[in-house]
Structure 1
Amino acid sequence: MNNVDKTKKQMFNQNLLDLRDKINISFEFFPPKNVSLEKKLWSSIDKLSVFKPVFSSVTYGANSGERDRTYTIVKEIKERTGFSVAPHLTCIDATDEELKMIAKNYWKNGIKHIVALRGDQLKQTKKIKRYALNLVKLLKDVADFDISVAAYPEVHPEAKDALSDLMNLKSKVDAGANRAITQFFFDVECYLRFRDLCFKNGINIKIIPGIFPIFDFQKLKQFSKMTNVNIPRFMHQIFEGLDNDLETSKIIGSHISINMIKKLYFEGVKDFHFYTLNRSDIVYSICHILRQKTF
């Protein structure tokens, strides 16, 4: 490395050091299904709380039991940490009356940030033409909620095409959405092109990148098939032969996430949403570097 390169690196690292407190971190958790998993969840929440997330979101199940757990976990996180909590809310298999009741209950209990989603189409669910746009409008009719919605840099699997997907996001923003959280991705350039397209089309909100730290590459491949997320060729190559070596996989996964965040930060991104899968180890290591060290 020549002196010019060293100087550039030192300047970049100093900029990161100076601005590290301006980086906004948020986490996604899901309701545990048993006592053992609940202990794991709270262990992760307690450990990650040191990073003072701007908010933590909690996913919303497909049945009433899981939905009740979402509500319980949301209230407990708020009471236990004092941080903002954003419950996911889906509308595909609920009536307007049910959704309004849930929303009013959240508002009454001081939960004023909601992640508004359509929800997955279940086999037993009747075809109902209700989308996240309808839910955003409904929530705004109930109260002035702070609303996050989903965005898809690589296009929603059910979208007709990229343009219609983009216009769908614009409709949600025009209806009152305050920010968008993206599906996870690994192609930084794809995200940056998507962000630029959003701004060019009048979508003037934060497009927060969803970061998926890799714990298990085989599971990641399963998730990517369901979500239309492309896994770059180099990742297939680098994880080859590591199916039974999760510790090495986590180290590599951490390195990949940090490199992505470094590139995004350099392009002006200051907000990062982590899909934790209720785990704290690799997420903690990434956030520690992000908030306390330089790259």
Structure 2
Amino acid sequence: MPIHTLYPAERGNLHLSFEYFPPKNDDMETQLFETVDKLSAFSPAFVTVTYGAGGSTKSRSLTTVCRMIKETGLANTAAHLTCVGATKAEVDAVVDEFASCGVRHFVALRGDPQGGIGTRYEPTPGGYDNAAALVAGIRAKGDFEISVSAYPEKHPESADVAADIDMLKRKVDNGATRALTQFFFDNNDFERYLERVRRAGISIPIVPGILPINNFAQMRKFAGLCGARVPDAITTRLSHLDEQPEERFKEATHIAAEQIVDLARRGVRDFHLYTMNRSPLITAVCDLVGFERAPVAQPKRHEGAAA
């Protein structure tokens, strides 16, 4: 069996989750919910919807999350929440808004500095100072599931990985129940990070974030902003395929599938996939790995219908 495909026994107890972002217009909304519908076939454990810094997409995020819960059957839809550019009272009001439409799971993030990535972060006067404080604020509001971020290659603003792990521990001590990692491409980096996290006494699930590469140039830009390293092997496999979309798609599918399979064989059971609100590549990756799809409901036959 190819290296990027799991044996049936190896797929036992594996769980998927997907990240989406709120649409900016009607066409993007249509695309998003078509994607949600198609990827729901893989029975995700949960899905998440992002939230702009300073609440810049709050209204769209709220609308999207509520629709997912009420119309798609994805009851465990998690709402991202940041504390940038808002007071504690304003953030708490947003928590209440999401909770009123059925949200029981938040992804608590500090958020990017208001001046943009690369500028100095300044806590908002009267607001939560950081993600650990935000977790404590959400926990005080109710018995929510709270996911947080983790950085196998460290956050760009952190002095080192140890500082990142210290912040993760503070978030866990304040009530975080899961960590979703920034995307990475070298599984050895993740394994070393996980070993250090466990030595620090952190026992919550650390779920690897997987980014199937729809657009190589865009991915490199994202990686540069968040401090993720792009191995030379991936550059070699994809950089020459810009004018060959079918070959690029096939290669990108294999890269992501190989990463997931290798992690699964190292004992990882949960995977968080960044969808970019598109289903074809995510579907291809999941199919290649061997994740099962939920059976499609067959239309009922009327009595007396012709055989």
Asked if these proteins are the same fold (TM beyond 0.5), I'd say yes
2:156 and 2:227 in contact (8 A); partners too? yes
1:147 and 1:179 in contact (8 A); partners too? yes
How big is the shift at 1:65?
5.3
Q: Over residues 239-270 of structure 1, what are the superposed CA-to-partner deviations in whole Å (9 max), with x where a residue is unaligned?
A: 23222323322211110111111110011101
Corresponding position: 1:47 with 2:46: no
Tell me which moved more, 22-31 or 63-72. 63-72
Q: Over residues 186-216 of structure 1, what are the superposed CA-to-partner deviations in whole Å (9 max), with x where a residue is unaligned?
A: 0000001111111111110111000000111
1:96 to 78, 88, 105: 88
Provide the alpha-carbon RMSD of the alignment. Answer: 2.0
In the alignment, what sits opposite 2:297?
A: none
**Larger relative helix fraction:** 1
Corresponding position: 1:181 with 2:180: yes
1:216 and 1:249 in contact (8 A); partners too? no
1:56 to 47, 50, 58: 47
Q: Over residues 95-147 of structure 1, what are the superposed CA-to-partner deviations in whole Å (9 max), with x where a residue is unaligned?
A: 10011111122223321100000001022898216110010000011111100
The 3-state SS of whatever aligns with 2:123 is coil
In the alignment, what sits opposite 1:111?
A: 103
2:80 and 2:108 in contact (8 A); partners too? yes
Within 2, Cα distance between the matches of 1:116 and 1:174?
14
> How many residues get paired?
283
Within 2, Cα distance between the matches of 1:106 and 1:97?
14
Within 1, Cα distance between the matches of 2:145 and 2:284?
30
Task: For 2:9, give the aligned amino acid.
Answer: D
Gaps of 5+ in 2: 294-307
Q: Over residues 152-178 of structure 1, what are the superposed CA-to-partner deviations in whole Å (9 max), with x where a residue is unaligned?
A: 000000001111111111110111100
In the alignment, what sits opposite 1:292?
A: 292
1:100 and 1:138 in contact (8 A); partners too? yes
How big is the shift at 1:19?
4.8
1:21 and 1:291 in contact (8 A); partners too? no
Equivalence map 1:218-233=2 (5 Å) = 218-233=217-232
The 3-state SS of whatever aligns with 1:197 is helix
2:123 to 107, 112, 128: 128
Distance 1:164 1:250, change over 3 A: same
State percent identity of aligned pairs: 38
Task: For 1:104, give the aligned amino acid.
Answer: D
2:84 and 2:113 in contact (8 A); partners too? yes
Gaps of 5+ in 1: 1-8
1:217 and 1:239 in contact (8 A); partners too? yes
Q: Over residues 53-80 of structure 1, what are the superposed CA-to-partner deviations in whole Å (9 max), with x where a residue is unaligned?
A: 1111000013555111000000101112
The 3-state SS of whatever aligns with 1:153 is coil
Equivalence map 1:154-173=2 (5 Å) = 154-173=153-172
Corresponding position: 1:241 with 2:232: no
Task: For 1:291, give the aligned amino acid.
Answer: F
In the alignment, what sits opposite 2:70?
A: 79
How big is the shift at 1:231?
0.4
2:112 and 2:121 in contact (8 A); partners too? no
Within 1, Cα distance between the matches of 2:123 and 2:292?
47
TM-score (structure 1 length as normaliser)? 0.91
